[in-house]
Structure 1
Amino acid sequence: MTDSAADLQRRRFLRDSARWALAASTLAAVPAAWSAPPRTDPSAIVRVRGGRVRGLREDGINVFRGLRYGADTAATRFQAPRREQAWRGIADATAYGNAAPQGGSEGPGSEDCLFLNVWTPALGDGRKRPVLVYIHGGAYNNGSGSDPLYDGSALCRRGDVVVVSVNHRLNVFGYLYLDALGDPRFAGSGNVGQLDLVQALQWVREHAAIFGGDPANVTVFGQSGGGAKIATLMAMPAARGLFQRAWTMSGQQVTAAGPRAAAQRAAIAMDKVGARDIDALLRLPAGELLGATRARDPSRVEDTSLYFGPVLDDVVLPVHPFWPQAPAQSAAIPMVIGNTRDETRAFLGNDPANFELTWETLPAKLEKQQYVDLRPQRVIDGYRRLYPHYTPSEVFFAATTAGRSWRGAVEELEARARQPAGAAPTWAYQLDWGSPLDGGRMGAFHTLDIPLVFDNTAQPGSRTGGGDDARTVATAMSEALLAFARSGDPNHAGIPHWEPYTLPRRQTLVFDRQSQLADDPRGGERELYQQAPFIQRGTM
């Protein structure tokens, strides 16, 4: 799921979740480790291309936070990233670097935001550990790689791997399409946030061995907007060869914004901040330029935020990521595409009224929130045939989930399945296990798979609780990620045999207390929504 309003609410949901969890009656089962600080020893020193850096040893894991992989972008606003400048002495790498400029809880951020973080069991020991690079969500507008749920320590201990998380330019700073204005300095400006990720992956390849990793075995994984960024990287020539596996969670990018739509949004953004030309944009303080994100997007009737995302610019991105076919350049890359069963409960579940809908009030709510141009009663009738026991609220959450990002996942899975013989396999998963907190009312909500895949159920904000079921599902999912990173196949002894996704079976591993492989789960919902063409929101 990649629309900005939803992901902004997702960020708030994550940030508030520790407070909510403390109030939940089911929290009694959560272990005390939530508040236990790691044992640290400031003795991890390595030399990277810019100079020497000092990290920490935390409970046996070497941790480097705030490593520079690029220069301050303030001086090169809207341009491709440049390498960081060298430094003298030993730079501190014990605190997270700046997030990109943004609103919300992680704002205001800074244009000096090209930082990454590394967790590794050992330094320069000649071992070739798999390297996992996490790309954060928050659509293309918000977020950073420093959320506690992205801590890579548990994966390092469980799987003897190297874990990296990344910050990069977002929103108007990373995806403002200025090519149409004709200044060659800003060719590709609509995708510089993606070019930041390319530069980060180049840095990872250059330094993997220093951190005990294998530069020829890099897995990118990401949730929500992070998954969408990965899908886009798979179609970018500049990213070719920089990663060997891809794992996406509730984040798809089937199409990119066309140049005309992107140019129209750039004009709206410039008008919003009172900039008549590029020079005026360059003079604006970052905080004032950020105001462009509050402009109304005329193509998105459900919310008022201006869409920023990748652009089909023929410079950085020459083809749509997954339309009309999966990217040929990434056909040899094994891929996992997953979603959660109750995505929209993460943001629509914050309104108590959505749990008290009636058959009379449901149509108007669904009209606004399903993001598909189908008559609401047609959808409601379809769900009542498929699931006659569903309440109006259950229909609402199921329909909004199926009508939003899940359709993009199906599009990507089918595109991968149609690739020529010999292409790398794709595996599909669906998280059905739901959080037990708040009486279980949030179900398998958007972002719930993050702490499970990271094996971070004890981290603040995980919303999984600390029960045996949470540990069981976390073990199954994190071991699948680790197996995938090692071999390009997510199968392991703790799950049923996970078959690749093929047509017409559509094999999908359903993660739950007892995980199972299912053919075309929710096939009825898939067919129901196929009555309308899929349109990636924000790209028209």
Structure 2
Amino acid sequence: MRQVARIFIMLAAVCLSACEQSHNEVEVNFIEINQGRVKGHFIPQLEVVSFKGIPYAQAPVGDRRWQAPLPATKWRGVLNADDFAHKCMQNPLFSDMQFRASGMSEDCLFLNIWAPQERTEQKFPVLVYFYGGGFIAGDGSENRYDGADMASNGILTVTVNYRLGVFGFMAHPQLSSESAYAGSGNYGLLDQQAALIWVAQNIAAFGGDPKRITIAGESAGSISASAQTLSAKSIPHIHGVIGESGSIMGRFVSSLAQSESQGLALAEAVLEGEDLSIAALRALPADELLKRATQAGYQQLLPTIDGKFLTDTPQKLFETKKFADVPVLAGVNSQEGSYQQLFGEEEVTQENYLLALQKLYPDNFRKIAALYSGESTEELKRAAQDLMSDRFISESTWKWINAATTYGSADSYYYLYDHIRPAMKSIYNRGQRQEISDMGAVHSAEIEYVLGNLDTNPIYEWEKEDFEVSTMAQQYFINFIKSGNPNGEHLLPWPKFNTQQQLVIKLEPFITDLKKVEERYLGLSGL
């Protein structure tokens, strides 16, 4: 009898434990927000709960195409947030963009949240991440942006979908006349802003601290993050910013007049009849509009100084201190561009180098040659790579952190990412073995490392050294998101940007002087 009693007691204890665990999971899996009730998905191996496909704004379809986003409506019952929603309208771009979205649609304004399962009285810091893709592709469902690992490290992580291409960035005189601010364009940036405001209003329900939101992104996402720090409605909700390769400073923004002119040309190219109205453009099905705009060469459109989201040039907004004066962590990769972009099929020689520079800078090619100098073949390759990297995205990134440091009071930190990513598996590279450059880290190579997502991206032949670099790089980012300072135990001390030093991130990280790089950037921006 005693043995039977013991068995009953053990079974009762197991049942009680299981019931308690189930109750705790139910508590964190079901969240009440302004729009209604949301059910998440528990990831037991990481003790994280994911909430995928939450609408943060109304669908921008029909007459809502090319309008600022409106707040999402309430729903009845429970929203089962167990799967990613639609990605925004786009064409295929790069093979390493591995989407998990449930299709593609103009109805795409959704966000995804990964939250630690264990809730504490102290709210968790929040990371809001904007994807890259040149403002023409990308999605919050991509493997490399997965937020589970960051959440397992105590950071509530959010990825945001925003409109792209012709849907997200077309300006047009008729659209400007419709708006209360006499401007147009920037709908993708306004989407991001709406998502940021949604996060500030709702994230506490998921365990996040609305007063500790860091925004971040890579490439177009980094340009977006820098732009958000200059927009009045975003500024109150930003408490830190991370920029990986890119900023709104420089060639990544157009005047309203330029953008409207481009919009008129786009309408003429896309509409085949006499009616060139916005109504006619809105009447086109989304896939047909995308197809026609692409065929006409209007796949990529840039952000605009529209008078609403951006009220002045980025430089002027910094000079007049109309920006989020918050800690900044930004940097670039060592091979953002390649020497082949300058030389093409020509042999790498001093003569061909000067000829190529003369085509780009007819009046100043000798000044450029002095800034980006080289004698040997390898030196010329390096000089050309540096120039093409700077022209593409590196100079604009430096201009951002330099302006934020010059006109602000918050701390800032700059990096050069120099760990070479391994080869892509042949099955993801048209069955061909991928040749890897030994000249540095290519554009976007750092994403999986800093977000702790090597395991979620099966494309590359990851090795032990890659995981070591990821552990170190991610810890810097985690520290910054939590405290505004990337430094911590067992890490090489990272000096502030105002010391004119940067951290070089690779297997054996080191600190290097920025003075020569800054001379290069200043010389380039003056031409």
Q: Same fold (TM over 0.5)?
A: yes
Letter in 1 for 2:143: P
- Structure 1 counterpart of 2:57: 70
Q: Indicate the percent of aligned positions where both proteins have the same amino acid.
A: 26
Displacement of 1:433: 2.0
Match of residue 289 from structure 2? 289
C-alpha contact 1:219 1:244 (8 A) present in aligned 2: yes
Residue of structure 2 in register with 1:257 after alignment: 254
Q: Could you say if the C-alpha distance between residues 286 and 444 of structure 1 is closer, same or farther in structure 2, counting changes exceeding 3 Å?
A: same
Cα offset for 1:209? 1.6
Deviations 1:302-358 (A, max 9, x none): xx555412211222210222457367233521111110011125x969x99779755
Structural RMSD (CA): 3.1
> More displaced, 205-214 or 397-406?
397-406
Distance 1:123 1:278, change over 3 A: farther
Partner of 2:326: 333
Q: Which amino acid aligns with 1:459?
A: T
- The amino acid across from 1:135 in the alignment is F
C-alpha deviation, 1:151, in angstroms: 0.8
Aligned-partner Cα distance in 2 for 1:63–1:102: 25
2:242 is aligned, of 233, 241, 247, to 247
* Cα distance, 1:534 vs structure 2: 6.0
Q: Using the TM superposition, name which of 163-172 and 439-448 deviates more.
A: 439-448
Distance 1:181 1:56 in 2: 41
Structure 2 residue aligned with 1:163: 157
1:286 is aligned with what amino acid?
A: A
- In the other structure, the counterpart of 1:408 is 396
Q: How many Å separate the matches in 1 of 2:134 and 2:398?
A: 19
Separation in structure 2 between the aligned mates of residue 334 and residue 327 of structure 1, nearest angstrom: 18
- For residues 292 and 212 of structure 2, the distance between their equivalents in structure 1, rounded to whole angstroms, comes to 39
1:131-280 mapped onto 2 (5 Å cutoff): 131-157=126-152, 159-179=153-173, 183-185=177-179, 187-255=182-250, 256-274=253-271, 276-280=276-280
The answer to whether the aligner puts 1:48 opposite 2:48 as a matched pair is no
Distance in 2 (CA, whole Å) between partners of 1:528 and 1:360 is: 22
Q: Is the 8 A contact 2:116 2:154 kept in 1?
A: yes
Aligned equivalent of 1:473: 469
Aligned CA distance change for structure 1 residues 529 and 478 (closer, same or farther; 3 Å): closer
Contact (CA 8 Å) 1:253, 1:322: kept in 2 or not? no
1:469-508 matches, within 5 Å, as 469-502=465-498, 505-508=499-502
Say if 1:265 and 1:306, in contact at 8 Å, map to a contact too. Answer: no
Secondary structure of 1:164 counterpart = strand
Q: What TM-score, normalized by structure 1, do the two folds share?
A: 0.79
Tell me, in whole angstroms, the C-alpha distance in 2 between the residues paired with 1:446 and 1:149: 14
CA distance in 2, matches of 1:155, 1:534: 40
Q: For the structure 1 residues 499 and 136, does the alpha-carbon distance in structure 2 shift closer, same or farther, using more than 3 Å as the test?
A: same
**Taking structure 2 as the reference length, what is the TM-score of the superposition?**
0.81
Q: Go from structure 1 to structure 2 and tell me whether the alpha carbon gap of 1:366 and 1:435 turns closer, same or farther (over 3 Å shift).
A: farther
| Matched-pair contact (CA < 8 Å) for 1:407–1:534 | no
Ranges in structure 2 where 5+ consecutive residues have no aligned partner: 1-24, 94-98, 424-434
1: CA distance, partners of 2:175 / 2:58 = 25
Report what 2:418 is aligned to.
432
Q: Residue 181 of structure 1: CA displacement?
A: 5.6
Aligned to 1:103: 91
**C-alpha separation in 2, matches of 1:253 and 1:236:** 12
Q: Is the 8 A contact 1:341 1:432 kept in 2?
A: yes
Amino acid at match of 2:241: A
The offset of 1:495, in angstroms, is 2.7
Distance 1:382 1:178, change over 3 A: closer
Relative distance call for 1:65 and 1:290 in structure 2 (3 A) is: same
Quick one: distance in 1 between partners of 2:445 and 2:159?
Answer: 18
Residue 482 of structure 1: how far off its partner (Å): 1.0
Q: What is residue 443 of structure 1 aligned with on the other side?
A: 440
| Aligned mates of 1:326, 1:477 — CA distance in 2 | 32
| Amino acid corresponding to residue 457 of structure 1 in structure 2 | L
Distance of aligned partners of 1:484 and 1:94 in 2 relative to their CA distance in 1, 3 Å threshold:
same
For the residue of structure 1 that corresponds to 2:305, the secondary structure is: coil
- Which protein has the larger Cα radius of gyration, Structure 1 or Structure 2? 2
Query: Equivalent residues in 2 for 1:79-90 (5 A)?
Result: 79-90=67-78
State the shift of 1:134 in Å: 0.6
| Other-structure match for 1:419 | 407
Q: 1:344 to 1:354 in 2, by over 3 A?
A: farther
Q: 1:355 to 1:63 in 2, by over 3 A?
A: farther
State the 1:276 CA deviation: 0.8
Query: For the Cα contact (< 8 Å) 1:118–1:163, is it kept in 2?
Result: yes
Counterpart Cα distance in 2 of 1:473 and 1:308: 35
Determine if contact 1:131/1:218 at 8 Å carries over to the other structure.
yes
The 2-side partners of 1:372 and 1:337 are apart by 28
Does the CA-based 8 Å contact 1:254-1:323 persist in structure 2? no
The residue aligned with 1:61 is: 48
The Cα shift of 1:141 comes to: 1.6
Residue 343 (structure 1) aligned to one of 327, 336, 344: 336
CA drift at 1:188: 4.5
| Residue 526 to residue 127, structure 1, CA distance change in 2 (3 Å) | closer
Alpha-carbon distance in 1 for matches of 2:447, 2:346: 25
Contact 1:312 1:318 in 2 (8 A): yes
CA contact (8 A) 2:235 2:324 kept: no
SS at match of 1:207: helix
Gaps of 5+ in 1: 1-40, 297-303, 536-540
Query: 8 Å contact 1:434–1:443 — kept in the other structure?
Result: yes
Q: RCO higher in 1 or 2 (8 Å CA, sep ≥ 6)?
A: 1
SS at match of 1:390: helix
CA contact (8 A) 2:166 2:299 kept: no
Whole-angstrom distance in 1 between the partners of 2:301 and 2:358 = 24
Give distance in 2, aligned partners of 1:358 and 1:389: 6
